[in-house]
């Protein structure tokens, strides 16, 4: 039986043996170190009474047809439900990611494979269908 004592046990060596090493370079951006220091944030709050705000500017996006957050979430939910109703092998092909599936189906170069998977009508039916009408009465073909 081994009994540890200050004379037969090196704490630094034991720490190095049991430590987890991360030899690859860190992805943390070190130039943000001061901004993330909780002591500086609390000190600034103590002086000003305000929590620091992010300097990021809001993005301007175009969400045609989506009038509010609730509508957007319902559209996403229905899309996820439709994707979940597909067969398991089709979902596995897209790693169970509805976004990958949508991106794949929207690419015109993948139409033959989408038809082969049984997710779209045959090409003759697709070509014979009239172009969809967009909001405002414009047709998609111009």
Domain assignment present for residue 93? The answer is: yes
Position 133 scores a pLDDT of 60
Mention every residue, 6+ apart, whose C-beta is less than 8 A from residue 41. Answer: 51, 52
Domain assignment present for residue 29? The answer is: no
The total of structural domains in the chain comes to 1
Contact assessment for residue 121 and residue 115, using Cβ atoms and an 8 Å cutoff:
yes
Domain assignment present for residue 92? The answer is: yes
Range of the domain at 94: 88-129
Domain assignment present for residue 15? The answer is: no
Please report, in tens digits, the pLDDT of each residue of the chain (142 residues total): 878 787 888 888 888 888 888 888 888 888 888 888 999 999 988 999 888 776 655 555 566 777 788 888 888 888 888 888 888 888 898 999 988 988 898 888 998 888 888 887 776 555 555 666 655 544 444 4
């Amino acid at each position: 039986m081994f009994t540890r004592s200050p004379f037969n046990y090196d704490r630094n060596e034991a720490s190095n043996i049991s430590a987890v090493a991360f030899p690859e370079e860190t992805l943390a951006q070190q130039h943000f170190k001061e901004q993330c220091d909780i002591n500086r944030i609390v000190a600034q709050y103590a002086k000003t009474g305000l929590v620091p705000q992010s300097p990021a500017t809001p993005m301007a996006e175009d969400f045609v047809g989506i009038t509010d957050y609730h509508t957007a979430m319902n559209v996403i939910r229905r899309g996820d439900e439709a994707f979940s109703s597909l067969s398991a092998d089709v979902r596995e092909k897209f790693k169970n990611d509805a976004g990958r599936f949508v991106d794949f189906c929207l690419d015109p170069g993948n139409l033959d494979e989408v038809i082969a998977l049984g997710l779209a009508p045959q090409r003759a039916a697709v070509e014979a269908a009239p172009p969809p009408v967009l909001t405002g009465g414009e047709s998609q073909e111009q």
